[in-house]
Chain A
Amino acid sequence: MSARPAPLPRLAAAVADLTGAAAFWPRAALATLRGPPLLDTALLTLRLVVTSVPVVFVVTFFSGAMLTVQAAASLSPFGGGALAGIAVGFGGVREVFPLLAAASVAARSGAEIASQLATMKATRQTDALEVMGLDPLRLLVGPRMVAAVLGTPVCVLVGCAAGMLGAQAIGVWQLGLDRGAMWNNLWSGVVAADLVVGAVKGVVLGFMLGAISAREGLAAGPGARGVGRATNRAVIRALVAVSAASLALSSAIYGRLA
């Protein structure tokens, strides 16, 4: 078994790691702005959407259903079970569904980005690009950043729709709520601006999860163990960052309305 390093060096290593991660973000943004290869970018964006949407759909569908069960259970004693749709519409579309959609993209596509880049690093394919006189950031990170920034808002909107469908389905089929009233209540609290905000959140969260996943991939240690660790760290860090950013965005956007 490997011995754990002493606390002070571990702290120093953690600070160096976080500094390296923070320094990577502007480089990733620059690589994205420098115009990544178009075909690679289009294919990766399509891949991110196609592979993430099923996960996002299932996760947000069930979440919408669960929120409805809880909301109906809380409101029923006061005779307002049908009003559950309003609570789910508000809280789900504004907060829960975008966050879960971004988290699902981080788990599905962020992990893929990290593991692909980590494998390329471990097998020295990134060094091969450098020795050819090519910039791995522009060639590898740029297209993945664009894919995450464009694909995540799509997934967020799909997540909102799936969450509403999940709420409607359980409300009508299991809780016996009126079909028309439930649907109207779901939409009564949601305005077009909420969906725009969701999409904007998707752009920001997509950039973050793309940058975190790419950085962890390119900072991977050697061998299969390095690839595994990088993938694991990418998912954990992306989930934490996406949750924190989601709260910060909500506070900035909706906090004024409180």
Chain B
Amino acid sequence: MSEQRAPAPIADEPAVALSGVCKRFGDREVIHDVTLAIPRGRITALLGPSGSGKSTLLGFVTGLVRPNAGQVRVLGEDVFALPRRGLLALRRRMGMLFQDNALFQSLSVVDNVAFPLLRVARRPAPEAKSRALALLEQVGLGGLHDRRPDQLSGGQQKRVALARALALEPELVLFDEPTSGLDPQTSAAIDALLRETQGRLGTTFIAITHDIVSAAAIADHVGLLVDGRLRAFGTRGAVWASTDPAVRAFLDRVPAGAGEAPAAPAPPPTGSGDLEL
């Protein structure tokens, strides 16, 4: 019997291709029949309000969340058809910046960045440390390498997480709400850093965000997810010019020229005030 080999990735193949993907949690359908192809070598922002299913989509890409239906191809591989070892190998071709950074609190900043180099790439310690220091320099944190993550500001922690995500020179970097919890000035600085880094490396960046200003500032392509449905996907200009009422209802919440002007201050929180005891 001849052994079947997986087809080699094609250069033009999208970095991420979702096909008819659905996901339910109990009775609630959080992703409904989503099909999209995210191009390589660009920044794509998946926009949407909270609870629209953005994080679930990112979970499909990393293989942490399994869809109920549909196919997920990442860097030419069918994520959920891979054996465990193949999935781990695919993940080593990705980097990810988590919403709360997910930095290892017991390690110093430089050890956080060196961690994947030591544990995944098995580089010698001096080489890993020198590469980690160079990466920290690139993200503007040259002098803070000996600190612990909890001694850094939110923006500085994002920079450390970015350096760690880039450590293994991934083909694809995922960003979960990269500007969440940051003030407008720091958000703009992180956006500029992402833009500059992607321009320098040419790596595929995918960011999920509800921050329209940030998406406008960084994205080449934009997808809009509302209630688990993909309402728009295309170049930033095309999506921004969309006349779809659902798209307009989301995008028109910020003034024209978003991404060029500083963002308006966030409104005060309007929680219900219920405290679960």
Contact = CB atoms under 8 A, between A and B. Distances in A.
Contacts of A132: 91-92, 115-116, 119-120, 168
Interface stretch (A72-80, A97-105, A120-128, A171-179): A120-128
Contacts of B103: 125
Nearest to B61: A131
B276 A128 contact: no
B64 A127 contact: yes
B34 to A, nearest CB: 21
Nearest to B167: A132
Interface in A1-42: 1-2
A134 B120 contact: yes
B272 to A, nearest CB: 14
B64 A133 contact: no
B64 A131 contact: yes
What interface size band does chain A fall in?
10 to 19
B98 interface: yes
Contacts of A124: 98-100, 102
A123 B104 CA distance: 9
Contacts of B90: 133
A241 interface: no
Contact of B102 (A123, A133, A139): A123
Interface string A99-143: 000000000000000000001000111011011111100010000
A139 B94 CA distance: 20
Interface residues of B, number: 25
Interface string B100-136: 1011110000000001100110000000000000000
Given A1-B276, A1-B277, A2-B276, A133 B120 contact: yes
Contacts, number: 51
Contacts of B174: 131
B98 A127 contact: yes
A124 B96 CA distance: 12
A133 B276 contact: no
B99 to A, nearest CB: 8
Contact of A123 (B100, B119, B168): B100
A131 B91 contact: yes
B100 A130 contact: no
B94 A131 contact: yes
B276 A125 contact: no
Given A1-B277, A133-B88, A128 B119 contact: no
Contacts of A125: 102-105
A133 B104 contact: no
B241 interface: no
B161 to A, nearest CB: 9
B88 A131 contact: no
Interface of B: 62, 64, 88-92, 94-96, 98-100, 102-105, 115-116, 119-120, 168, 174, 276-277
Among all A-B residue pairs, the 4 with the closest Cβ atoms: A133-B92, A128-B102, A133-B91, A124-B102
Given A124-B100, A131-B64, A133-B92, 9 more contacts: A123-B100, A124-B102, A125-B102, A125-B103, A128-B104, A130-B62, A131-B95, A132-B119, A134-B119
10 contacts: A1-B276, A127-B102, A128-B102, A130-B91, A132-B91, A132-B119, A132-B168, A133-B90, A133-B91, A135-B88
Interface of A: 1-2, 119, 123-125, 127-128, 130-135, 139
